[in-house]
Amino acid sequence: MNKRLFLLAHCKGVSQQILRKMMKVDPTLELFFHLKDHEWEAYFQLNKERIKAIKEEYHSMSFIELEKQYKKDNIMFLSLYDQAYPPLLKEISDPPPFLFYKGDIALSHSAQIISVVGTRNPNHYGKSALNFIIKPLIVNNWVIVSGLANGIDAMAHTLSINQKGKTIAVIAGGFYHLYPKQNQTLAEQIMTSHLILSEHAPSTPPQRWHFPMRNRIISGLSKGTIIIQAQKRSGSLITAQQALDQNREVFAVPGSIFDEYSGGTNDLIQNGAKLVQDVSHIIEEFPR
């Protein structure tokens, strides 16, 4: 079954939603080989042209060849059914059916994982707040999750590495299209001694809609999400909302009412996120 799931995860015509629906209708994925076109249309609302394209692409691929290529590039993979699958991520309503990764997957099983997201353009206050809040978490063996974006994300990963902690990066595209390119060196550090995850096949270029999809994985991997500087309309607020939907904790670092990059975090606090002034406000929510 994992081979079937692996190949379907590579089919461009099979979205994550369709793949989850296939697994829900038939966890063995045996039906894929037996459904008639009208049944495909009934189950998955796919037209005949798309059904034909999916079948042709599926049968054109070789599991053995792809596995050989990925092994050469140190890209590992696992399905929702594998024991190594991140346990907290498995609990969300829409977990990725398949994950590709580089690095130490055991990090995703840590008892202390927390996500950190924020603006791509942090000012001095944002940088200082990140150091003040995140450094003690790293010292206390919390694994830091973020999205490898510029700004707060990259700073959180870098701080973890510099402080001899551990970090997990979740990327929006596949491993052959790491984004942004200026974080390539950082990505290589993370995949060597930490962990990078993607729900997309390695040859998949990042698309705009992949980023909110990625954000649900960032929040889903962890017990809570910390927002450090975010505008009122930003990807960080999407991550915060997804954390709430996943019944996870949301922490927000307050900022000046005159700072546009604090508008989003201040709104989160007004709407019920926990205000964070020092690390104790986070740790007290997770008694051992």
- For residues 66 and 114, membership in a common domain is answered with no
What's the pLDDT score for residue 220? 97
Residue 212 sits in a domain whose CATH number is: 3.40.50.450
- For residues 50 and 178, membership in a common domain is answered with no
- For residues 120 and 217, membership in a common domain is answered with yes
- For residues 147 and 25, membership in a common domain is answered with no
The angle, 0 to 180 degrees and rounded to 10, between the axes of the packed helices 184-193 and 152-162 is 40
Residue 36 included in any domain: yes
Q: Which domain covers residue 248, as residue numbers?
A: 105-283
Sorting pLDDT into bands at 50, 70 and 90, what band is 162?
Answer: very high
What's the pLDDT score for residue 233? 83
- For residues 174 and 227, membership in a common domain is answered with yes
What's the pLDDT score for residue 48? 82
| Rounded Cα gap, residues 44 and 47, in angstroms | 9
- Mean pLDDT is lowest, of 46-55, 80-89, 158-167, for 46-55
Residue 81 included in any domain: no
What's the pLDDT score for residue 18? 85
Sorting pLDDT into bands at 50, 70 and 90, what band is 22?
Answer: confident
**143-146 vs 113-118, strand pairing mode:** parallel
Residue 271 included in any domain: yes
Q: What's the mean pLDDT in 171-188?
A: 95
Residue 238 included in any domain: yes
Residue 82 included in any domain: no
Measured between alpha carbons, how far apart are the two ends of the chain, in Å? 38
Residue 43: pLDDT above 60? yes
Please indicate whether residue 106 or residue 26 has the higher confidence score (pLDDT): 106
- Mean pLDDT is lowest, of 10-24, 154-168, 259-273, for 10-24
- For residues 235 and 152, membership in a common domain is answered with yes
CB-based contacts of 66, cutoff 8 Å, min separation 6 = 6, 10
- For residues 21 and 137, membership in a common domain is answered with no
Please indicate whether residue 40 or residue 15 has the higher confidence score (pLDDT): 15
| Rounded Cα gap, residues 91 and 10, in angstroms | 24
Q: What is the mean pLDDT of the chain?
A: 92
Q: What's the distance, CA 255 to chain centroid?
A: 26
Please indicate whether residue 87 or residue 40 has the higher confidence score (pLDDT): 87
- CB half-sphere exposure, 114, CA atoms < 13 A: 26
What's the pLDDT score for residue 41? 78
- For residues 161 and 242, membership in a common domain is answered with yes
What's the pLDDT score for residue 184? 95
* pLDDT per residue as tens digits for the range 222-268: 999 999 999 988 889 999 999 999 999 999 999 999 998 899 999 99
What's the pLDDT score for residue 1? 55
Residue 94 included in any domain: no
- Structure tokens given for 232: 């009122």
Please indicate whether residue 30 or residue 273 has the higher confidence score (pLDDT): 273
Number of domains in the chain: 2
- Nearest CA among 154, 88, 89 for reference residue 286: 88
* pLDDT per residue as tens digits for the range 196-232: 999 999 999 999 999 999 999 999 999 999 999 999 8
What is the pTM for the complete model shown?
Answer: 0.94
* pLDDT per residue as tens digits for the range 125-159: 999 999 999 999 999 999 999 999 999 999 999 99
- Three-class SS state of 59: helix
Own/partner pairs, 27-34, CB within 8 angstroms, 24+ separation: 27/1, 28/1, 29/1, 29/4, 29/5, 32/4, 32/8, 32/58
- For residues 254 and 177, membership in a common domain is answered with yes
Own/partner pairs, 104-110, CB within 8 angstroms, 24+ separation: 104/193, 104/194, 104/195, 105/76, 105/78, 105/195, 107/143, 107/166, 107/168, 107/194, 107/195, 108/168, 108/195, 108/197, 108/221, 109/84, 110/143, 110/166
- For residues 41 and 164, membership in a common domain is answered with no
- For residues 43 and 182, membership in a common domain is answered with no
Longest Cα pair distance anywhere in the chain, in angstroms?
Answer: 61
- Please check whether residue 226 is in contact with residue 113, taking contact to mean a CB–CB distance below 8 angstroms: no
Q: What's the mean pLDDT in 20-40?
A: 79
Residue 121: pLDDT above 80? yes
Look up residue 104 and give its amino acid. D
What's the pLDDT score for residue 99? 96
